[in-house]
Structure 1
């Protein structure tokens, strides 16, 4: 099994300074270390999947001031890589060894024919993958900073095209892969804010997402309540609707774990946890443990995967 980060390479000039050379050598000096953030404003990214006919070009936003920089949308994070890989795997293969075993047994990340939405999209890689693999519609949102929104629009326009979509595998039904979606919405959205005085977007997209993507959005505990409210706002009120929340431990396990508080999820998000587990960059899985302590090098290797579904009282 290839490591999670093996699909990503930098596009641009070779490293020029001592710090750059050191950063590219960390994997040799510290073999257990892993890069969990990728790219910068000077280096766009090449995402190459063996299942896609062409690599995708992913640009990174160039922050405009300290406010934009604190969003950390100018990187591609491993949570987006993992969610995109799950979507690709299950949208191309109805059943795989991974969906039949492991801690995610029985769960599917297939988005074909479904309406998807992404919160805090950053580079929009999971949404791009869903759009290429036959999602019914794709809605991409992030904080309404001009640089971030421009990058989202450029990435989506460049990559959600038929020439980047995979061909059916030999022997498979040629209709097994649905057409690349043309129903694409890209809008700014501040979590927990649904005032429609300046935009009709929040009202027009309320409860429209069959699948909601949330990748690496848990590092700010003061935003957890707002994030839960946005999940509640955009996720459909059906028994089949799911929110997929994948996150790293950037600010520590204790700070991000509060998002999963059962009462807060129910009261603010209208959702409950269907499954939650941890997975590292090599595909090793373990049970979610709120009390586990890892050093910073080990912590960088791991992500938390949570599947949220509507609480019974929130289904119409």
Structure 2
């Protein structure tokens, strides 16, 4: 390869790297936003279970807002964790909450679903996470029982011999233990994200490798319909041009019912001459402009199925 060709290839490679860097600069902050829930529980002999939930923020420079808080544990939360509570910046401490409930029979999975919302520049990001509480041992008893006075044991009597049963006839076959079957594992929880900019309303979902395939149908109030084909281990998304009054109804082929989400316009959507929108934050300069074009040309796709009702929440 001569020097001229080498320089041309090097120039093309450098341009590609600059474009990819621009994509990472613009897309990185938007894709990172998510709540960080965790939980532990302890159980008492009487069946009372105490669950301690913790929810952190992935962002070090921006507070979030809790927009959904659903738990499989009946009862209210005690503590700072609550619906519409402000999610402190990462490093400022997470939100904590406690639930207590007395269960009868087998203990179900103790799950918490948290959705949070961030407003960064001209973009609104909404994402949810689901976590299962992990056991943390037995709860310490509230009070130590008072020991009863020691009684002198009575002398033990020798029991009379019991006549053994007749062994004549065919022996009774001992009942065989029923074969145990392992129940099928539940599909992994999906990760949902809703991004609203001045130009677009984008539904993004991640389908885990152990998820299930499904199809989502999204229809606007004007009758515009788009479909999402979700495959385990991949991501899918669909976008609609944003405007005041936009409403999108989402339905799935794996669950009944549907959900309608209204578009929320970011605060600083200042449409100037020609309807252009200002770029804020990291979206500055020629690199950012090139990154926006690349992002528009290839949107990242994310859609996930669950056995319970699936929701995109604005």
TM-score (norm 1): 0.23
Per residue, is there more strand in 1 or in 2?
2
Tell me which structure has the larger Cα radius of gyration: 2
Per residue, is there more helix in 1 or in 2?
1
